[in-house]
Amino acid sequence: MSSDDILIQQLSTAAVLIFMISSVVNFILGIVGLTFNVFVFARPTLRGQPCSFYFLSSTLFNFFVILIIIPTRILSNIYNIDPSIYNEGYCRIQTYVFYSTRAVSCWLITLATIDRYLHSSSNASFRQMSSLKIAKLASGCTSLFVFIAYSHMIVYYRISSKTDRFGNFSSQCSGPPGSYSVFLSVWHMIFYSVIPSSGMLIFGFLTIVNVRQRRQIIPKAIENHKNTKRTDSQLLRMLTAQVSMIIVCTLPVSAYRAYSASTASETKGALRLAQENLAAQIVAGITYFAHSTSFYMYTLSGTIFRKEFLKTIRRSQHSSHNQPQMNDAQIHLPIHLFLLNSKTWVILRVAQHTLSHDQDQSSTRDGIVLYGLPLSPNTQRVLAVLAEKDLKYEFKSINIMESEHKSRKYLEGLQPFGLFPVLIDEDGFKIYESRAICRYLEEKYKAKGTQLIPAGDIKSRFLFEQAVNIEAFNFEPAAIGIIREKFVKKVLGLGEPDEDKVADLRKELNAKLSVYENILSKQPYMAGQVFTLADLFHLPCMALLFRMGDGDLIESKPNIRKWWEKISARPSWKTVEKMISDANQRI
């Protein structure tokens, strides 16, 4: 046996070994990681994000790569078990599906990059295109496009015979040699690597430009809504990690295919063919890492992903132990319901732990007691007034997990409708309904803190009343409608938001805010020249709009934006935001 024969045999053995090891490693990494991807992206915190939908869709296609394509390749290349060489129809379908499925998974990540570009745009119309409805439509259309783009393989692929260097005949599922082989190499290189990678790089760069521009134009007060900003930032980091992995893993196979296409007409000896086969197995093994490692990229780059992953693990461990029976009111946990008014519910998702009923938020006891929850917008309204009036109080958090607000003691002793907040004054006087509580505190403690109801002539007083009614009957109904569709329905599992209804509500609210813009072009506050309850009452719902990604309705109007920056920067609201943050940390 010549030295060339020995080298060829060694190269062939190395190619088989590399293929086997890389396939097994990718299979194990993929099974574990992709399974966790599904559980994490299905969690409420992420499942409503269009970018997360693209991640989840790509994960499902990657499952096909890991569970079907890799085992099929192992059986074919290692054990010579290849059904595609016995049936021409199966040969065509298998090759077509294998090629197109791998390409679709990369295109979906490109769509995620485009979504981040749209989401970060300063153009409100572009930002509206970053929605779950658009994500589903784009995913379906793109998948169909890619499958159509590869449909020529169904026509040209067939079972053919080949002869090795020893004159032995064998069957293989392949396209016709010559021009089509060159065409397929170039075609797959473009659709699997070049176009997706280029799209990722282009829109990734544009996203960074958008983010930098928005940091310069968005008021600092708006930036304080960190939950939404943190989620967006984490999704962008996760996307960047995944994009980098895809580019690194697919570029080698693109280079190899370009080389293969350019040398297709050359006559190649056995040694060169063995060398090329080894290179092909190496780049093929690297390529599969683009489909098997997304979970590990997300875990390394995204704090929010790690937190949701740990919550999933803890929940599965907790569910394995015996748990106390829950009543009907607790079936939908982890969810708490907070009434924004007598007819409208908004839901703030929290974990199954609650704040202690006897917890003292201010560590002082001066006679005033407030029952509520820091995460309740109505409670936030009263907390802001207490801070504006510089009043000391004891805060008692209601235990919704035990349905305390529906207990007989609560209904008979505090609030007959089973709602909150409820305030008990130092002399024992009890009052509920958040706006009524706020007015009472201002009237009772007029001499303390900020004056929140004008004390001038009758005209000033009723311009204030007018402004209060503008908030209650013009701003809040449309704002709550948006919150219900985009947030409440997702958390309760009531289906996807009605995008047409959301668009109508946004249009309605935008029209109302256009009137606000005109009012605030003539005066700094809603009731005139000074800050009043009419301004303060906007804070909880407007803050929620920002957290849900609808802050563009405020940002796009300079007078409203200036007004919002002033009222949301007040120390009273900063105090409330701190309580919200502390409550979330405890949870």
**CATH assignment at residue 92:** 1.20.1070.10
Q: How far is CA 566 from CA 222, 229, 294, 476, 539, in A?
A: 10, 20, 43, 20, 11
pLDDT at 229: 53
pLDDT at 136: 92
CB–CB of 502/486 below 8 Å? yes
Assigned domain for 35 exists: yes
pLDDT in tens, 193-232: 889 888 888 888 888 787 766 655 444 434 444 444 555 6
Q: Please provide the DSSP assignment of 86-136 as one string.
A: T-HHHHHHHHHHHHHHHHHHHHHHHHHHHHHHHHH-S-HHHHHTSSHHHHH
Cβ-Cβ contacts under 8 Å for 151 (sequence gap 6 or more): 96
Q: Give the DSSP H or E segment for 348.
A: strand 345-348
pLDDT in tens, 517-572: 999 999 999 999 999 999 999 999 999 899 888 999 999 999 999 999 999 999 99
Residue ranges in 484-570 assigned as alpha helix (H) = 489-492, 499-520, 533-536, 539-547, 552-555, 558-568
- Residue 319: CB atoms within 10 A of its CB come to 8
Mean pLDDT (10-residue bins), the chain, 587 residues: 79 88 93 90 74 90 94 88 90 94 92 87 79 91 96 92 62 85 85 88 83 54 46 70 84 80 77 86 89 86 75 61 37 34 36 36 62 89 96 89 83 91 94 96 94 90 95 93 82 73 93 96 96 96 90 93 96 92 69
pLDDT at 254: 75
C-alpha atoms less than 13 angstroms from C-alpha of 353 in its C-beta half-sphere: 8
What tokens were used for 396?
């008692």
**What's the CA gap between 506 and 515, in Å, rounded?**
14
Under DSSP, the state recorded for 473 is I
pLDDT in tens, 23-47: 999 999 999 999 998 888 887 667 6
**What's the CA gap between 336 and 441, in Å, rounded?**
27
Domain that holds residue 507: 458-586
**CATH assignment at residue 553:** 1.20.1050.10
Assigned domain for 227 exists: yes
What tokens were used for 543?
């803050």
Domain boundary among 272, 289, 313: 313
CB–CB of 362/395 below 8 Å? yes
Assigned domain for 412 exists: no
Assigned domain for 66 exists: yes
pLDDT at 510: 94
Kindly report the backbone phi and psi dihedral angles of residue 158, in degrees, each rounded to the nearest multiple of 5, phi listed first: -160, 170
CB–CB of 122/217 below 8 Å? yes
pLDDT at 260: 78
Nearest to 284 by CA among 15, 498, 14, 575: 15
Domain count, the chain: 2
Nearest to 305 by CA among 489, 38, 120: 38
Assigned domain for 519 exists: yes
Domain boundary among 313, 338, 372: 313
pLDDT at 301: 80
Assigned domain for 386 exists: no
DSSP three-state, residue 560: helix
CB–CB of 373/342 below 8 Å? no
Assigned domain for 414 exists: no
Domain boundary among 265, 286, 313: 313
Under DSSP, the state recorded for 401 is G
Q: How far is CA 314 from CA 52, 159, 320, 582, in A?
A: 22, 51, 10, 22
Assigned domain for 271 exists: yes
Residue 389 identity (one-letter amino acid): K
